[in-house]
Amino acid sequence: MRGVLDRLALVVAAVCAGLSVLLSTAVVAWALTQRPGAVGQMVSSGPSVGVARFAAAMLVVGVLSGAVAYVLTARIRAHVEGSSRDLVELATRFAAGEARLSPVHSDIEEIDLVSGVMTRRAHDMTKSLAAERDFAADASHQLRTPLTALLMRLEEISETDDAEVVKEEATIAIAQVERLTRVVDDLLGRTRGAGGPAPAVSLDSVIAALQREWQPAFEQARRSVRVRGERGLFVRSTPVALSQVLSTLLENSLVHGRGTVDVHARRSGPSVIVEVSDQGDGVPAAMAPHIFERSVSSGAGGSTGLGLALARDLAESNGGRLDLVQAQPARFALFLSEAETD
């Protein structure tokens, strides 16, 4: 490119100088065709001397014009070269997969257009990769809980010879498999951007299913779950999301809490509040303000630090809110819109 721009500068300078010489030649020719008196009016030293001086002056102007044109073209060349180098560097960083790219501002439309396309594409790729990482982490956490519960049910079946117990446990295990299928469908729906108003779901049915699912784990830990409050409540949420949020709160109490876990449902204006608490030490004061941030974990029980952050995201995606309303002992409150039923 540099050779092309150098030749362009020389051509522009030659054209400017040539035009000046041509103009001076035309003026001299015109002067010679006029009467001596007319030429004498143009210059004071006589026709021939005046024309010669004028021609020399025009020649000098032509040379200077060519020089100025060459300098200006050289400056343009330097600007284009610098912008091209910046674009090449941007393309190299884009090809290397760098996330944070700044566009080139060269005031050259084509270069700025290519730069803008690459910068936007890098930004989109970064968002896409972040979404994929979040999806993988969310899927891992959401699937881990029902798989663990299902494994415990299967262990119960393998350790008993009572046909009635086997039948009961198998029925619950089948329900857990169905719930696991809905969790996968829900995750896939989130990646496709599935939307629409949240349906009405029975709070009693979701809590009852979770009680059956978590009963073996709490019995093994010699603990229990107590459900109290108003009955017959319906809320706006997908069953999978509501189940996942409450399941996360139960798991959190099982891993980090002590004593009986209390699940209390009640109305509050147009909302339904579900509070989950236990009798443990609660959340440390330093951790409480950050409890819903990703990768925040007490480090106990093999927690990934995604549970509460994911639970809050699920609650918000269904028009609700999840808060830590009391740190010691821990009490979480899930706020959801009450659904009208016929």
* CATH number of the CATH domain containing 301: 3.30.565.10
Domain extent at residue 264: 197-342
pLDDT on residue 15: 61
Indicate whether 264 belongs to any domain.
yes
In the predicted structure, residue 342 carries a pLDDT above the cut 70: no
Higher pLDDT, 324 or 198: 324
Give residue 38's pLDDT.
47
Question: Does residue 207 lie in a domain region?
Answer: yes
Q: What are φ and ψ of residue 332, in 5° steps?
A: -100, 145
- pLDDT for 234: 93
Looking at every residue in the chain, the average pLDDT score rounds to 74
Q: Domain check: are 88 and 205 in the same one?
A: no
The pLDDT-based confidence of 298 (bands split at 50, 70, 90) is very low
Check pLDDT > 60 for residue 334. Answer: yes
| pLDDT band, residue 249 (cuts 50/70/90) | very high
Using alpha carbons, list the distances in angstroms from residue 247 to 209, 280, 284, 337. Answer: 10, 18, 22, 19
Asked whether 235 and 245 are in contact (CB, 8 A), the reply is: no
Sign of the alpha-carbon dihedral angle for 82, 83, 88, 92: positive
Say yes or no: 209 and 87 in one domain: no
SS3 45: coil
Share of the chain above pLDDT 70, in %: 60
- Confirm if 265 and 207 have CB atoms less than 8 A apart: yes
Q: Last residue of a domain, which of 96, 120, 140?
A: 96
Query: Is residue 163 in a domain?
Result: no
Q: Which of 49, 77, 96 corresponds to the end of one domain?
A: 96
Tell whether 114 is covered by a domain.
Answer: no
Residues 202 and 334 in one domain: yes
Torsion over CA: 152, 157, 162, 165 (sign): positive
In the listed set 96, 123, 146, which residue is the last one of a domain according to the structure?
Answer: 96
Distance CA 13, CA 25 (A): 18
> Is residue 218 within 8 Å of residue 260, measured between CB atoms?
no
Q: Are strands 200-202 and 225-229 parallel, antiparallel or unpaired?
A: unpaired
SS3 content of the chain, % helix, strand, coil (to 5): 65, 10, 25
Tally of structural domains, the chain: 2
More confident residue, 51 or 248: 248
**Rounded to whole angstroms, what are the CA distances from 242 to 135, 258, 259, 275, 338?**
18, 24, 24, 13, 13
Q: Is residue 311 part of a domain?
A: yes
DSSP state of 232: S
Does residue 73 form part of some domain? yes
| pLDDT reported for residue 19 | 61
Does 187 map to a domain? no
Question: Is the model's pLDDT at 216 over the cut of 70?
Answer: yes
Q: Regarding beta strands 225-229 and 261-268, do their DSSP bridges make them parallel or antiparallel, or are they unpaired?
A: parallel
The verdict on residue 263 lying in a domain is: yes
Provide the percentage of residues in the chain whose pLDDT is more than 90: 18
pLDDT confidence bin for 4, thresholds 50/70/90: very low
State the burial class of residue 263 (Cβ atoms within 10 Å of its Cβ: 0-12, 13-18, 19+).
buried
Question: Which tens digit of pLDDT belongs to each residue from 133-189?
Answer: 666 666 666 666 667 777 777 877 888 888 887 887 787 777 777 777 766 766 666
- Segment 289-305 shows an average pLDDT of 59
